Amino acid sequence: MQYSSQAVAKPYFVAAIGLFVGQIIFGLIMGLQYVIGDFLFPAIPFNVARMVHTNLLIVWLLFGFMGAAYYLVPEESETELWSPKLAIVLFWVFLAAGVLTVIGYLAVPYATLAKLTGNDLLETMGREFLEQPLPTKLGIVVVALAFLFNITMTVLKGRKTVISSVLLLGLWGLAIFFLFAFYNPVNVVLDKMFWWYVVHLWVEGVWELILGAMLAFVLIKITGVDREVIEKWLYVIITLTLVTGLLGTGHHYFWIGTPEYWQWIGSVFSALEPIPFFALTVFAFNMVNRRRREHPNKAATLWALGTGVMSFLGAGVWGFLHTLAPVNYYTHGSQITAAHGHMAFYGAYVMVNLTMISYAMPLLRGRQANSEKSQVLEMWSFWLMTVSMVFITLFLTAAGILQIWLQRIASDPQPFMVVQDQVALFYWMREWSGVIFLAGLLAYLASFFVGGKPAEARAS
Amino acid sequence: MSGVFTKSMARNVFYGGSVFFFLLFLGLTFDTVRALPKRDMRHNITPLVAEGKKIWETRNCIGCHTLLGEGAYFAPELGNVVARYGEEGVKAFITSRPADGIPGRRSMPQFNLTERELEAITAFLKHVGTIDTAKWPPNIQG
Ligand code: HEM
Ligand code: HEM
Ligand SMILES: [Fe+2]
């Protein structure tokens, strides 16, 4: 750590990991509800567990992005953070907002929560991923703006690098597109159309800029490859991202009432979306192969390479699988969607955050890298989580193919619930894979508590 | 990527390409919004339908079901549910959910909707069923 204000990143990373654990516990609850339908009913109905699962995911990823920005920007800008105090205040505000929201979901019926929190003033609740009550949504905006102000001021007063500009662009985009969460017209088609301005333009747009910047930063640090080379790659990757991803939004406009020309535009451009993810993988391996130093943090290197591979598999391959309109006609809103959603979110955004945390946390704790023992455990957790996520994806894909066949293609299509019963075996296997995932996550937690002599760089 | 292709060229391609495609996307968005009235059946959006959308949202139905294929995959598609069950069938289903669930089965909450709210949610679902979705879903099972 070169600047003392980078230390504010630490609570952000800790909170991120804590909420990640909560996310997975609710994932396992839902996984069980898939096969034992009335598990925890009526105390925690499925829709409540789902809100908790997905909202915790989003909130912890945002914690991770903010922590990453607080860590990375001072170092890139070669100056202290504009206001570390503001960063700490915002941390507590954001954590309180997140925790209170989850408590609200669990403690009272959703309709009551809506009434209590002023949904009648401005109706924004009850849409997937955007379930947060109005005060939470406003809180997110306030925190995001104050955070962006802090980061932007830091960049402005210091050295300007490509990495910090791309990161800033991504973060500003994240905040701006979130404003569409406040637009909820009565017309369902319009509602759905602009809902994707948040969801798609986040994960297949501006978040990829954040991902690219974070990965580029870590790669510079661990490989020692020339900044010029890495920054050129970064530009190429994010160009490919936006050139394909903006019009790629069309892959969500096939069947929601929007004009049919989107079947062409959406299919063609989203079919190209795997390219930036492929470039990201090549980039990560290329830089590691061309490394100029042997960084002692082997775990961070593993996470960085893993991000490349898994985001390509989850977003690129599993995205391509169902993105052409004639295929999506059958797969739309099936378990195939769930399979893709899991591996894409894990491979891209979970893993890039864990890459950053893996690299920065030891430095925040006063050493260049953790002990060999701690790193071995962390690498075990990498493999446990990653391999179990591959299996979750495969089982959901199998369930999805059967579901589509029985419900949408067979000559005698069967009702949804009848089909669900027939594919229960795959949901059981998904749940067991989820248990392994949790074991991996616990190993990850444990790796923070394994002491020992910090690993040192070995001459190669 | 060496020599001839410099970083500043990469930067210019990025800004140029992104702005171009962003504007193109905006243009298509405007065109879509203009074309929607022919497909979204907005003339049928009565105050009752609007009320129904609010019931849909404040009960978080999307947390279990899909609507036009978007949402959760735990329970059936509802964009075509009125075609599947009929208006009375939909109302009867919603009102008859046991408060403590069905042993061992995926259970839908009992929302204790009033008669008016039932009318509203059904009107909303019926309206969604009339939207021109390019023939999705493939069949009545959703
Ligand atoms: C890291 C990047 C990505 C993430 C995190 C991600 C995540 C998701 C999620 C969560 C959904 C479900 C949304 C819902 O609940 O309705 C979804 C849907 C979809 N994604 Fe992605 N995705 C990514 C990239 C991609 C890419 C690159 C493609 C195409 C090549 C793609 C194609 C699709 C399609 C076609 C759907 C709609 C599925 C349906 O019709 O039900 N995604 N994605
Ligand atoms: C480890 C065990 C996990 C289990 C058992 C699990 C289970 C589930 C279930 C049952 C759903 C709801 C599907 C539906 O709507 O019917 C869901 C949704 C979701 N989960 Fe998980 N999950 C797990 C881990 C994760 C992880 C690690 C991530 C992120 C990387 C994640 C991200 C998501 C997302 C984005 C959705 C919404 C998907 C969509 O709308 O298509 N889950 N999960
Ligand atoms: Fe998308």
Q: From the list A186, A228, A258, which residue is nearest B32 (CB)?
A: A258
B33 and B8 assigned to the same domain: yes
Task: Summarize pLDDT for B44-65 with one digit per residue, the tens.
Answer: 999 999 999 999 999 999 999 9
Nearest CA to ligand 2 atom 16: B73
Instruction: Give the model's pLDDT for residue A294.
Output: 95
CA atoms of A147 and A142, how far apart (whole Å): 8
Instruction: Give the model's pLDDT for residue A54.
Output: 98
Per the structure, how many domains does chain B have? 2
Chain-chain contact of B7 with A228 (C-beta, under 8 angstroms): yes
- Would you state the structure tokens that stand for residue A135, as one six-digit string? 């005060």
B18 and B65 assigned to the same domain: no
CA atoms of A371 and A296, how far apart (whole Å): 9
Decide: A144 and A175 in contact? Cβ < 8 Å.
yes
Neighbours of A29 (CB within 10 A): 18
B65 and B5 assigned to the same domain: no
Q: Determine the residue of chain A that is closest to B3 in CA distance.
A: A229
B31 and B47 assigned to the same domain: no
B106 and B50 assigned to the same domain: yes
Question: Would the pLDDT of A296 be above 50?
Answer: yes
Size of interface A-B (CB pairs under 8 A): 228
B12 and B31 assigned to the same domain: yes
B55 and B24 assigned to the same domain: no
Chain-centroid distance of CA A272 in Å reads 21
Q: Which residues of B touch A420 (CB under 8 A)?
A: 106
The burial class, CB within 10 Å (0-12 / 13-18 / 19+), for A366 is exposed
Q: What is the CATH number of the domain that holds B116?
A: 1.10.760.10
Chain-centroid distance of CA A187 in Å reads 29
Decide: B59 and B124 in contact? Cβ < 8 Å.
no
* Ligand 1 touching residue A203 (CB < 6 A): yes
Gap from B94 CA to chain A (nearest CA, Å): 16
| Eight-state DSSP code of residue A414 | P
Instruction: Give the model's pLDDT for residue A1.
Output: 83
Q: How confident is residue B4, by pLDDT bands cut at 50, 70 and 90?
A: confident
B73 and B88 assigned to the same domain: yes
Question: Would the pLDDT of B1 be above 50?
Answer: no
Task: Summarize pLDDT for A422-451 with one digit per residue, the tens.
Answer: 999 999 999 999 999 999 999 999 999 998
CA atoms of A360 and A9, how far apart (whole Å): 9
Task: Summarize pLDDT for A72-119 with one digit per residue, the tens.
Answer: 999 999 999 999 999 999 999 999 999 999 999 999 999 999 999 999
Question: Would the pLDDT of A332 be above 50?
Answer: yes
Nearest CA to ligand 1 atom 33: A319
Task: Summarize pLDDT for B103-124 with one digit per residue, the tens.
Answer: 999 999 999 999 999 999 999 9
ipTM for this prediction: 0.97
Report pTM.
0.97
Nearest CA to ligand 2 atom 15: B72
* Closest of B114, B69, B57, B73 to residue B91, by C-alpha: B114
Q: From the list A126, A243, A333, which residue is nearest B21 (CB)?
A: A243
B116 and B79 assigned to the same domain: yes
CA atoms of A47 and A42, how far apart (whole Å): 11
Arithmetic mean of pLDDT over chain A? 97
B74 and B135 assigned to the same domain: yes
B85 and B111 assigned to the same domain: yes
Instruction: Give the model's pLDDT for residue A459.
Output: 52
Instruction: Give the model's pLDDT for residue B2.
Output: 54
Q: Which residue range(s) make up the domain with B134?
A: 42-142
Gap from A247 CA to chain B (nearest CA, Å): 6
Instruction: Give the model's pLDDT for residue B111.
Output: 98
- Would you state the structure tokens that stand for residue B80, as one six-digit string? 């075509």
Question: Would the pLDDT of A227 be above 70?
Answer: yes
B49 and B33 assigned to the same domain: no
